[in-house]
Amino acid sequence: MAFRFAVTRDPADKALAQRCFLACKRLVDIVPESMRGFPARVLIPVDWPEPVNEIYGDRYNQESRKSDPFWKLITPRFVKSEDGKYYWKCDTSSDELAAHYFFYAIYYDLVAQTEEEKSPAREVIREITDHLIRNGFNLIDHDGKPTRWGRFGPDYLLAIDGWEQRGLNSLMILSFLAVAEHVTGDPKYAAVAAELRDKYHYHINTLVPRITFPPDMIASWDNDLGLESYYTLMLYEKDPELLLLYRQSLEHFWLYVSKQKNPFWSLAYAACAKHFIDLDAQGHFDNAFAENPDIRESMLRKYRPLEYAHADVIDTLRVLPLDMIAWEANNSHRYDIQLDPSPGVQPGIGWSRVMENRSRSMNAAM
């Protein structure tokens, strides 16, 4: 809705964007003071018809641990709010965190126009970021321990348990700090980001931004997390040499997903690439890597063209159903489809090419 209002300038669209913002902020405000800055996953009334803490109790935890040895054993998963009116869900992950920062950033830039509108966005971003910093770059749950997927500190990412998340989580925490600095104007967030780069090489980690092999380690939702984070990091970073590095990282990330015809991924990439091209035209990189300008020029030549499948974006948006029905499509009978022969792919999973939109299962939630 923030992007929509930026285009239409319709007060009704602004009202919807503000409603979205207040709903997201409510997830942060609902937790107790001892957890300030922790965004809940979900908020439901206490008279919710399903017994959620029975459904997601000890048996659920033990079953989940069988397929994920690092699964967090925590109960209750739905915690009663201090006013007794709601349950909020714990064990928040990097998925929610990346979406919070992405939305708050574009809301602040594109929707909030007065100090009265900007101040709540500034407040919630500061609260979440300070929670991460004071807890060693971890989301700390009501049991006093990090959530399953909310760990961004060097003690985890540089250890054996966190190696597969090293690139993506380094990218995310740098983007979170960039958003916090941009929105609050507080230089402490830039100082923290500099420490993560200088001492722990988080910026270098982003050059391998995600795991793409073996196939059983690939998660499609990581594409959302990455491109949400690139969007804000590349928009707010001013250092030309860091921007050149992040542009390389973006390309490494993009090449893996570029053929998947996802409108958001394509447009987020295009926005980042266009911003980079505009900065290049303004001479922003003229003094970067002065000790070896050939490196700079080689990178700039490589990234000056803006290339992405705009036609695929339009096609997907045209055929995407507006209802929430999951329309299934079975292509197992087709002789023109070859399954992905890559080693490690589960039998029957994965095609050697991206199917046309009309032949894929989809719904509006996609």
Q: 181-227 pLDDT, tens per residue?
A: 999 999 999 999 999 999 999 999 999 998 777 666 677 778 999 99
At 364 the pLDDT is 46
> Under a CB-based contact definition with an 8 Å cutoff, are residues 285 and 275 in contact?
no
What does the CA dihedral 308, 309, 313, 314 come to, rounded to 10 degrees? 130
pLDDT of residue 306: 87
| Element containing residue 328 per DSSP (H, E) | none
Please check the confidence at residue 356 and state whether its pLDDT lies above 70: no
CB neighbourhood size of 311 (10 A): 9
pLDDT given at position 309: 81
The tens digit of pLDDT for each residue in 134-182 reads 999 999 999 999 999 999 999 999 999 899 999 999 999 999 999 999 9
Tokens 């709903």 correspond to what residue?
Answer: 23
DSSP state of 355: P
Rounded CA separation 303/284 (Å): 14
Burial environment of residue 317 by CB neighbours within 10 A (0 to 12, 13 to 18, 19 or more)? exposed
For the chain, domain boundaries:
324-366
pTM (two decimals): 0.90
- For the ranges 91-100, 169-178, 268-277, 298-307, the lowest mean pLDDT is seen at 298-307
